[in-house]
Structure formats: structure tokens, C-alpha cells
Amino acid sequence: MSTASTKPRHLSDRQVGLILVAPAVLLLAGVALYPLVSSIIAGFYHQSLLSPDRTFTGLANLRAVLDSGFWHDLRNTLWFTLWATVVPVVLGMALALALNTRLPGRAALRAFFLLPWVLPGVVTSFIWLWIFNANYGVLNGLLRDLGVIHHNVDWLGSPGTAFMAIIVAKTWSSFPWIALMFLAGLQTIDKALYEAAEIDGAGRWTRFRKITLPRLRPVLITVVLLEGTWNVQHFETIYVLTNGGPAGSTTTLSIDVYRTAFSAFDLGKAGALGLLWMVLLTVLIVVYLRVSNRVGED
Amino acid sequence: MTTVDTTLRTGRRRRESPLQGPSKLGAVLTVIVLGVFTLLPIYWLIVTSLTPDGDAFTFPPRFWPKHLTLHAFTTFFGNSQLTTYFVNSVVVTVAAAVIAIVVSSYCAYSLSKFRYRGRTAIAYFVLSTQLFPSTLLVIALYLLFNSYHLLNSYFAIILSYSTFTLPLCVFILKNYFDTIPDELIEAAKLDGASQLAIIHRIILPVAKPGLVAAGLFAVIRSWNDFIIALTLAGPKTMTLPPGLVLTYLTQDQSSWPGLMAASLIVSLPVIVLFLFFQRHLTSGITAGSIKG
């Protein structure tokens, strides 16, 4: 007992500090960094998920994926990331501005709007899978009642609409938290600025552009970068709604990597795709770390 | 200061609509449009879960249901496979959250209150792991756990969950510890308290709100996970989210009321947590990003 209470005092602050971070660093190194690196190294081998044997093949996998799927996946990934980031950011901004006015029941409204964000991702996907269902879906039912369409549309089975459907589902679950971030940002803006601007004759739109938007810039950057990095690796909405189909029109890098490993059992090609994917992600991560270096350093 | 402010404000003429943001009408319209967009899918989720199986396969669907039944819910709890998934979800979520909180508390405390070389690098490392693509990670984790015959074990899932919730917990807690004045620690040191005693008896009790926020995030993240359990779990250890996909989407006979009822059941715990701890959650989300 006495050793336990006196021992720590013999250690320097540096040592105690390092001991305290050690478990976290070990876990992250073993269960996050090591798997990441070893997945990518597999890209230089011919290796199957089903057998532990592997042979070094150099850049063969890389060349193979560059010749076949990669550019297609990249285009879909960037396209998905763009829309799945821009649409929720615009809607989130609109909702934040609306909730920031003195509406009655604001607290209840805020809780209500956050509900989709709390739901498990698969649940969101199930709901929209059912809504977009070609034969019995409520969307077809409503649109036919309103006379917008005359025949059922196979929303998830047609290349053009499948992509849109995924964006709608993804937006539904992510715009609430974006609104919350903007709302918190809006509340830090000094109201006197707006009064001064109004006296100078600035209209509503000008006040938004010249005061609100510049002051929300830090929040906007954080939100766009976080959403961007999440969307570049998004998996479950696409997996459940279309699993990359129809005809590969919604196959992103994350879907292709997963299918290459667990359906085609080709760890080499999955690793090669992963390597190219990581290059893209690293750019985003470096930007993200640069911007949020406050967090690391105070 | 505040009193002056309020007299100034009340002294002015009351405005019809605020100067910041849209007009009152614009605000109300935005809330209605986005409210309908938010509400309709939830309404349809609930209505479908209460619809008899046969009624779900009629077109056009009945927007106002005629018959309501709890059949889908009783079916869920009568299905031993689904209840096993449910219990698995509870077990791995709670275990992972406890581990994540313990490990991240020490890590965050060290990053917040100690000064040593490499501290910034470690903070960067922890932060950046949050952005590793899980699709890529699960491939190697599958091989890793496979080689130790740990696939389909609680251990593999709990270890993965606690690792992947760590970074977020660390940063929520670090932000919280940063607000605790160093004088509190200095005073305790002068009184002869050991480092461990300082953490356990002084810092952690003060940081309770931060711990609650971090714990909530850990629970919600693990509970909502899909890809890790989908890849690493077997029939005996599968959690609910991938379990529902396997039960309802890969078989020919799909029961939409069944799937919607199961969706509500898997959502209920996180919704309840959210409603009870809303304040903690929202402050947790915005902390750290609204500094500048």
C-alpha cells in the first residue's frame, strides 16, 4: 500500500504523463494504425482472404485497379462527397438561421430536429429503403396521388435516381447536427453589429453576407472538413440502399474496397484501392489537422 | 453591464422580426418545410411498424392506416435470434463505453495537464485515427482476429469499439479538463496528494459533466455501429444493426412492418438517452469547434 502511494512521486511529470497516455496510444496503434498499414501493404501482394499464403507482386495490383475500377470509384466518391456535404450544409444553415430567430418553442424544435441525427445509420437507411421501394413505397404512392408521376419509379434501381435517393437519405440524417453547429456559432455573434449595419442601410441579404457568413467561417470550415472526411469514407447508407448498384452507378471507394475484400476475397486489389484512397484522405486529413491544430496545442 | 444592456434594449421599439437571419415569415416557412422533411419519414416508420403484414403490401399505401396492430413488436420479442442480437448490442456497447471512458480519461488528462515532448504529436495521432476509413480497417482486423481465432467473439468487437470511440472521448474530455484551473492541481500537490489521487479524487469528480458527455458519445457510437459487427461478429455475437440487415434484407420474404418495428426498437435506447441528456450531448458536439 505504501509503495503504491509513494511510488508515483518518484516519477517525473514527463514519465507520469507518458504512462497515462500509453494505454490509449497502444490501443490506437494496435487496433487502428496497424490494421490500416497492413491492409495497404497487402496491396503489394497477391493475397486471398481465404488463405494465409501470399506472394509479392509489386505494383501489379495497383496497375490493375488503375486500369479497371479506380477512376470510376473515385468519380463516384467525389461526386457523393460533394453532394452529401453541400446539401446538408445549405439546409443546416437555413435551419440554424430560422431557429435563431425568436420562434416560440425553440428548445422543443431543436430536440425534434435532432432526432434523425441520433438514429442508428442503418435505421435511416431502412426507412428510406422502404420509402423509395418501387412497388409499395410511400413516395410513389404520394407522387401518383398528386399526379406528378403516372407510373411507379424504381428509385433505387435506376442509375440517375439511385444516387439522388442516397443523397436525400444521407442529408436527412446529417443536416440536423450541422444546424446545431451553426446555431452555436450564430449565438456568438454580437447583435450590435446588425444594428449598426441596419443603420447604414444594409438589407437582410447584405447583412447575412457581410456579417453572418464571415463570422461563421470557422464553424463552416470545421463542418465542411468533417463532413468531407466522413463522406469520403461513408459506407452504410450506400451499402443498405443500393450496395453500389445499379450497374455500379453508386459504387464508391469504400463500397468497392469492402466488396473486393469480402465478396471477391481479393485482399491485394482491396489494398491497392485502399492505398489510392488513403492518398485522397491524407490530403483531407492534413487540411483538417492544420485547421484544428488549436485542439492539439491550445 | 447586463442591466444597462437590457434597459437599452427594452427602451428601443420592439422589432417585428430580428435583424439577424431571415424575416419571421421566412423563418417559419423554413421550419415548416424542413420540419415536414424531418417528420414524414419518422411518421412512416411508426405507422408501418403498426401495420399488419398484409396491409404493407398494397399499393397505393395507406397514408392514414386503417388497422393498427402490435404484431410486429410481439414477433420481434418472440424471435430468439433477434433478442440475442439485442442482448449482444447491450453487452458490447456497455463494455466498450466503460473501457473507452477509463482509457480516454487518463489520456485526456495527460494531454491537458502535463507538458512533455511529443505531447502535440500524440494529440495529432489520436485525432487523426478518427479519420481512418473503417472499411479499410475491418479488412485487416478480420485477418488479425482470425489468426488468433477471435472472430465471432465479444472480445474482438469490444476491443474494436473501445478503440474507435477513443479519439472522440479524448477530445471531449481534454476540452473539459482544459477548463479546470491548474491551481486546483497545484494546491493538491502541496497537500502531498499523489498523481493518482489527484486524478481520482479531484479531477474526475469535477469533470463529471465531461465524462457523461464522452460516455454518451461512446455508447451512441458503439450502439449505432454497423460495419465492425457486420465484419467481425458471427451469429452468436452479432449486434442488432447488422443483425437486422441479415434478418430482413438478405432473405426473400421481407416483412416491412417487422423491419420498421425492429428499427424502432433499436432506435429507442439512443432516443431515450438523447432526450435525457440533450444538454450534455449538444455541448459535447459543439465544444472544440466553436473556439475561434
Residue A168: which CATH number? Answer: 1.10.3720.10
Query: What's the confidence (pLDDT) of residue A280?
Result: 82
> Mutate which of A15, A26, A28 to test chain B, going by most B C-beta atoms within 10 A?
A28
Residue of chain A minimizing CA distance to B36: A113
Find residues 28-87 of chain A whose CB sits inside 8 Å of chain B: 28, 30-36, 38-40, 42, 49, 52
Is residue A134 over pLDDT 60? yes
Q: Take residue B36 and report the three cell numbers written for it.
A: 415536414
Mean pLDDT of B74-89: 92
Q: What is the spatial distance between Cα B61 and Cα B46, in angstroms, rounded to a whole number?
A: 14
Collapsing DSSP states into helix, strand and coil, what is residue B193? coil
Query: What's the confidence (pLDDT) of residue A94?
Result: 94
Instruction: Yes or no: say if A186 and A97 are a contact pair by the CB < 8 Å rule.
Output: yes
Q: Which residues of A touch B31 (CB under 8 A)?
A: 95, 98-99, 103, 109
Cβ within 8 Å of residue A184, ≥6 positions away = A219, B282, B286, B290
- Of residues A54 and A297, the one with the higher pLDDT is A54
To the nearest whole percent, how much of chain B has pLDDT over 70?
89
Q: What is the pLDDT of residues B218-245, one digit of tens each?
A: 999 899 999 999 999 988 999 999 999 9
Is residue B205 over pLDDT 70? yes
Is residue A292 over pLDDT 80? no
**Among B105, B137, B95, residue whose Cα is nearest residue B204:** B105
To the nearest whole percent, how much of chain A has pLDDT over 70?
94
Is residue A15 over pLDDT 50? yes
Q: What is the pLDDT of residues A80-103, one digit of tens each?
A: 999 999 999 999 999 999 988 877
Query: What's the confidence (pLDDT) of residue B31?
Result: 92
Is residue A6 over pLDDT 60? no
3-state secondary structure chain A: CHHHHHHHHHCCHHHHHHHHHHHHHHHHHHHHHHHHHHHHHHHHEEEECCCCCEEECCCHHHHHHHHCCHHHHHHHHHHHHHHHHHHHHHHHHHHHHHHHCCCCCHHHHHHHHHHHHHCCHHHHHHHHHHHCCCCCCHHHHHHHHCCCCCCCCCCCCCHHHHHHHHHHHHHHHHHHHHHHHHHHHHCCCCHHHHHHHHHCCCCHHHHHHHHHHHHCHHHHHHHHHHHHHHHHCCCHHHHHHCCCCCCCCCCCHHHHHHHHHHCCCEHHHHHHHHHHHHHHHHHHHHHHHHHCHHHHHC
Is residue B292 over pLDDT 70? no
Burial B49-73 (b: 16+ CB within 10 A, else e): bbbeeebbeeeebeeebeeeeebbb
Mean pLDDT of B120-142: 88
Q: What is the spatial distance between Cα B278 and Cα B214, in angstroms, rounded to a whole number?
A: 13
Find residues 169-198 of chain A whose CB sits inside 8 Å of chain B: 172, 175-177, 180-181, 184-186, 188-189, 191, 194-195, 197-198
Query: What's the confidence (pLDDT) of residue A168?
Result: 97
Taking an 8 Å cut-off on Cβ atoms, the answer to whether A130 and B26 are in contact is no
Query: What's the confidence (pLDDT) of residue B288?
Result: 47
Kindly state whether residue A238 falls inside one of the protein's structural domains: yes
Kindly state whether residue A6 falls inside one of the protein's structural domains: no
Q: What is the spatial distance between Cα B209 and Cα B215, in angstroms, rounded to a whole number?
A: 10
Collapsing DSSP states into helix, strand and coil, what is residue B251? coil
Q: Which residues of B touch A268 (CB under 8 A)?
A: none
Q: What is the spatial distance between Cα A113 and Cα A179, in angstroms, rounded to a whole number?
A: 9
Kindly state whether residue A10 falls inside one of the protein's structural domains: no
Long-range contacts of B9-13, Cβ-Cβ distance < 8 Å, separation of 24 or more: none
Task: Please give the tally of structural domains in chain A.
Answer: 1
Is residue B282 over pLDDT 90? no
Q: Which residues of A touch B96 (CB under 8 A)?
A: none
Query: What is the pLDDT confidence band of residue A3, given thresholds at 50, 70 and 90?
Result: very low
Query: What's the confidence (pLDDT) of residue A281?
Result: 82
Q: Which residues of A touch B245 (CB under 8 A)?
A: 122, 240
Mean pLDDT of A64-79: 90
The pLDDT mean for chain A works out to 86
Query: What is the pLDDT confidence band of residue B97, given thresholds at 50, 70 and 90?
Result: very high
Minimum-distance CB partner of A113 among B23, B38, B259:
B38
Q: What is the pLDDT of residues A53-66, one digit of tens each?
A: 888 888 888 888 88
Is residue B3 over pLDDT 50? no
Q: What is the spatial distance between Cα A217 and Cα A221, in angstroms, rounded to a whole number?
A: 6
Is residue B119 over pLDDT 70? yes
Q: What is the spatial distance between Cα A196 and Cα B54, in angstroms, rounded to a whole number?
A: 63
Mean pLDDT of A191-208: 82
Range of the domain at A159: 60-297
- Of residues A1 and B112, the one with the higher pLDDT is B112
Q: What are phi and psi of B60, to 5 degrees?
A: -70, 150
Query: What is the pLDDT confidence band of residue A210, given thresholds at 50, 70 and 90?
Result: confident
Query: What's the confidence (pLDDT) of residue A211?
Result: 85
Query: What's the confidence (pLDDT) of residue B277?
Result: 85
Minimum-distance CB partner of B106 among A9, A23, A223:
A23
Instruction: Yes or no: say if A268 and A43 are a contact pair by the CB < 8 Å rule.
Output: yes
Q: Which residues of A touch B120 (CB under 8 A)?
A: 296-297
Kindly state whether residue A276 falls inside one of the protein's structural domains: yes
Taking an 8 Å cut-off on Cβ atoms, the answer to whether A39 and B140 are in contact is yes
Instruction: Yes or no: say if A89 and B29 are a contact pair by the CB < 8 Å rule.
Output: no
**Among B194, B288, B19, residue whose Cα is nearest residue A294:** B288
Mean pLDDT of A4-12: 57
Mean pLDDT of A196-216: 84
> CA of A176, closest CA in chain B: separation in Å?
9
Kindly state whether residue A1 falls inside one of the protein's structural domains: no
Kindly state whether residue A48 falls inside one of the protein's structural domains: no
Query: What's the confidence (pLDDT) of residue A24?
Result: 94
A8 inside 8 A of chain B by CB: yes
Beta bridge partners of B47: none
Domains of chain B: residue spans and CATH: 80-286 (1.10.3720.10)
- Predicted ipTM beyond 0.90: no
Kindly state whether residue A2 falls inside one of the protein's structural domains: no
Q: What are phi and psi of A188, to 5 degrees?
A: -90, -5
Beta bridge partners of A54: A47
Is residue A255 over pLDDT 90? yes
Query: What's the confidence (pLDDT) of residue B262?
Result: 94
Is residue B89 over pLDDT 90? yes
Q: Which residues of B touch A24 (CB under 8 A)?
A: 103-104, 106-107, 126, 166, 170
pTM, whole model, 2 decimals?
0.88
Query: What's the confidence (pLDDT) of residue B45?
Result: 95
Kindly state whether residue A55 falls inside one of the protein's structural domains: no
A136 inside 8 A of chain B by CB: yes
Length of chain B: 292
Taking an 8 Å cut-off on Cβ atoms, the answer to whether B60 and A31 are in contact is no
